[in-house]
């Protein structure tokens, strides 16, 4: 590059005290870095195209990290093309280090797509999402810490002095960051004890919702109102967690109100029929503890209480099973000429 600059007429002159050679070198170097940035920015996404299929986050991460890597590569190459210009070399080193840190930070977004690509069924379960979320948080934390060290080195700071200074100010930093440290230990507790995982429906104190993400500092929970609550991990270590996602079964106790003037024999047959529906349903369990029997006689209605255990882990599947069961109960009542009680109707004495 130095020869190219020297071949340009007037390169040895100065304009307003600034060397033309320095300006030309900077311009050519900038053009070279931009070209390298675009080339590598196109190559990286193509290399990992199989991983990023169907993931916009992975595509954006690859595109961003590819361009940042291109800037780093351009700066690294420029350091060998430039001679006798210390300020340019130090600037290139700084830009290269910053670009590499940005590359690593953005590339973390590809972890989720990579795990999804290697998964057999192409769908991540709750435990896999939890591990991926934790891995991303830990990697981002490490990249920031080491990135700050490398950037400080590129800026010319004495790392030995910095480390010694950290020993002196370590106590003050620990006191100032005690909440952050508590949150990190809380995240470690969650990952080791695993009271819940991503996708579980939990109740933590006054907060209830679905776990979206487990980070190093906070856990994100989406409530039934579709709002997102950010909960510090330090709170999780000292708060009871009720995990609805770890239920072995789901108990349901519906009550059917039949008109008080119904034929007792048909009511008995209806109860037996409902019990058969419960026992024969593919999503029920604990047949010995399930029942459908008359529980209460009121002035206007006969209450038939049921006890049902669903062998289901998904709320959506449970709603579908309830819908199917209730329609079958309606058909059974109709076949026995039984009417459900209407609160608007009153029976005369």
- Residue 341 in any domain: the answer is no
Domain boundary among 186, 220, 246: 246
Report the number of distinct structural domains present in the chain: 3
- Residue 137 in any domain: the answer is yes
For residues 174-186, give the mean pLDDT.
64
Note whether 205 and 108 are same-domain residues: no
Q: How far apart are CA 250 and CA 312, in angstroms?
A: 7
pLDDT exceeds 90 at position 33: no
Say what the pLDDT of residue 272 is. 92
Say what the pLDDT of residue 222 is. 92
Say what the pLDDT of residue 330 is. 93
Note whether 131 and 241 are same-domain residues: yes
Note whether 107 and 26 are same-domain residues: yes
- Residue 150 in any domain: the answer is no
Note whether 134 and 191 are same-domain residues: yes
Name the phi and psi angles at 317, rounded to 5: -65, -35
What 8-state DSSP symbol labels residue 199?
T
Note whether 240 and 193 are same-domain residues: yes
For residues 163-177, give the mean pLDDT.
58
| 115 or 232, which is more confident | 232
Give the helix/strand (H/E) hosting 146.
helix 126-154
Q: How far apart are CA 254 and CA 252, in angstroms?
A: 6
The pLDDT confidence band at residue 349, using thresholds 50, 70 and 90, is: very low
The pLDDT confidence band at residue 115, using thresholds 50, 70 and 90, is: low
Range of the domain at 135: 124-145+155-246
Say what the pLDDT of residue 345 is. 58
pLDDT exceeds 70 at position 341: yes
For residues 114-125, give the mean pLDDT.
60
pTM: 0.45
Domain boundary among 246, 281, 304: 246
The pLDDT tens digits of the residues spanning 293-327 come to 998 888 888 899 999 888 876 677 888 888 989 99
Note whether 284 and 230 are same-domain residues: no
pLDDT exceeds 70 at position 120: no
Give the helix/strand (H/E) hosting 245.
none
pLDDT exceeds 80 at position 131: no
Note whether 272 and 236 are same-domain residues: no
Which residue(s) pair with 284 in the sheet? 310
On the 0-12 / 13-18 / 19+ scale of CB atoms within 10 A, 77 is middle
CATH number at residue 287: 3.30.70.100
- Residue 200 in any domain: the answer is yes
Say what the pLDDT of residue 54 is. 55
Sheet strands (E) in the chain: 14-15, 18-19, 201-204, 207-214, 218-222, 228-232, 241-243, 250-252, 255-259, 284-285, 291-297, 301-310
Q: Give the percent of the chain with pLDDT over 90.
A: 10
Q: How far apart are CA 219 and CA 67, in angstroms?
A: 31
CATH number at residue 203: 2.30.30.60
Sign of CA dihedral 313, 314, 318, 324: negative
- Whether 63 and 52 have beta carbons less than 8 Å apart is answered as no
pLDDT exceeds 90 at position 55: no
The pLDDT confidence band at residue 67, using thresholds 50, 70 and 90, is: confident
- Residue 169 in any domain: the answer is yes
Cα angle 129, 65, 50 (rounded to 5 degrees) comes to: 60
pLDDT exceeds 60 at position 19: no
- Residue 349 in any domain: the answer is no
Note whether 61 and 131 are same-domain residues: no
For residues 209-235, give the mean pLDDT.
86
- Residue 8 in any domain: the answer is yes
Domain boundary among 246, 274, 295: 246
Cα angle 19, 23, 27 (rounded to 5 degrees) comes to: 165
Note whether 262 and 241 are same-domain residues: no
- Residue 196 in any domain: the answer is yes
Query: What is the overall mean pLDDT for the chain?
Result: 75
Note whether 330 and 258 are same-domain residues: yes
Nearest in space to 235 (alpha carbons), one of 288, 165, 297, 186: 186
Say what the pLDDT of residue 339 is. 87
The pLDDT confidence band at residue 238, using thresholds 50, 70 and 90, is: confident
Nearest in space to 68 (alpha carbons), one of 28, 27, 109: 109
Note whether 235 and 323 are same-domain residues: no
Q: Give the percent of the chain with pLDDT over 70.
A: 64
Q: How far apart are CA 211 and CA 228, in angstroms?
A: 10
Say what the pLDDT of residue 327 is. 93
- Whether 169 and 119 have beta carbons less than 8 Å apart is answered as no
Give helix 20-47 / helix 56-81 axis angle, nearest 10°. Answer: 140
Nearest in space to 101 (alpha carbons), one of 145, 136, 137: 145
Instruction: Show the DSSP H helices in 197-303 as ranges.
Output: 233-236, 264-280
Q: How far apart are CA 288 and CA 278, in angstroms?
A: 11
Note whether 113 and 168 are same-domain residues: no
The pLDDT tens digits of the residues spanning 242-294 come to 887 777 778 888 999 998 888 899 999 999 999 999 988 888 888 888 899 99
For residues 10-35, give the mean pLDDT.
64
């Amino acid at each position: 590059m130095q020869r190219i600059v020297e071949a340009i007429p007037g390169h040895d002159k100065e304009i307003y005290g600034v060397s033309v050679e320095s300006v030309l070198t900077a311009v050519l170097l900038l053009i070279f870095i931009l070209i390298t940035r675009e080339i590598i920015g196109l190559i990286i996404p193509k290399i990992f195209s199989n991983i990023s299929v169907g993931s916009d986050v992975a595509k954006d991460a690859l595109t961003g990290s590819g361009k940042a890597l291109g800037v780093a590569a351009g700066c690294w190459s420029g350091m060998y093309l430039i001679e006798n210009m210390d300020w340019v070399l130090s600037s290139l080193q700084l830009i290269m280090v910053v670009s590499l840190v940005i590359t690593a930070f953005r590339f973390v977004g590809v972890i989720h797509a990579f795990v999804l690509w290697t998964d057999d069924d192409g769908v991540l379960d709750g435990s896999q999402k939890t591990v991926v979320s934790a891995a991303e948080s830990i990697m981002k934390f490490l990249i920031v810490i080491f990135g700050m060290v490398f950037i400080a080195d590129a800026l010319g700071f004495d790392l030995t002095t910095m480390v010694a200074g950290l020993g002196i100010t370590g106590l003050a930093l620990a006191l100032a960051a005690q909440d952050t440290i508590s949150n990190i230990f809380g995240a470690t507790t969650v990952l080791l004890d695993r009271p819940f995982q991503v996708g579980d429906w939990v109740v933590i104190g006054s907060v209830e919702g679905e776990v979206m993400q487990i980070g190093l500092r906070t856990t994100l929970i989406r409530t039934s109102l579709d709002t997102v609550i950010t909960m510090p991990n330090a709170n999780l270590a000292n708060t009871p967690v009720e995990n609805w996602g770890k239920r072995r079964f789901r108990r349901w106790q519906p009550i059917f109100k039949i008109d008080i003037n119904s034929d007792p024999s048909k009511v008995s047959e209806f109860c037996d029929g409902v019990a058969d529906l419960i026992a024969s349903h593919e999503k029920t369990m604990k047949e010995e503890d399930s029942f459908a029997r008359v529980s209460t006689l009121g002035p206007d209605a006969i209450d038939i209480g049921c006890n049902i255990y669903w062998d289901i882990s998904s709320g959506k599947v449970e709603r579908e099973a309830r819908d199917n069961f209730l329609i079958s109960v309606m058909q059974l009542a109709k076949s026995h000429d039984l009417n459900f009680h209407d609160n608007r109707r009153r029976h005369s004495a």
